[in-house]
Amino acid sequence: MKLTNDSYVILIGTKKFTERYQRDKTGWLKISARGRTFRMTAEQVLNHVLPALAGVKPDLTIKVEYQG
């Protein structure tokens, strides 16, 4: 079982949209609900993930999928 950052996809969303965050060979990538891609630093990804984990925005859901 491979347990590195590129083995997971982070899904953050509401009832109306879902954004994907994943790691590839060059760094973090955000795929918006409309399918646009954006390069991100690890700190930027963390800034998007923490409010969902902390419950600051109660309508946000967060899910992590293993892509092995």
What does the pLDDT look like over 4-20, one tens digit per residue?
888 999 999 999 999 99
Say how far apart CA 5 and CA 57 lie, in whole Å.
25
The reported pLDDT for the residue numbered 46 is 95
Domain locations in the chain as residue ranges:
5-66
Confidence (pLDDT) at 32: 96
Considering only CA atoms, give the Rg of the chain.
Answer: 12
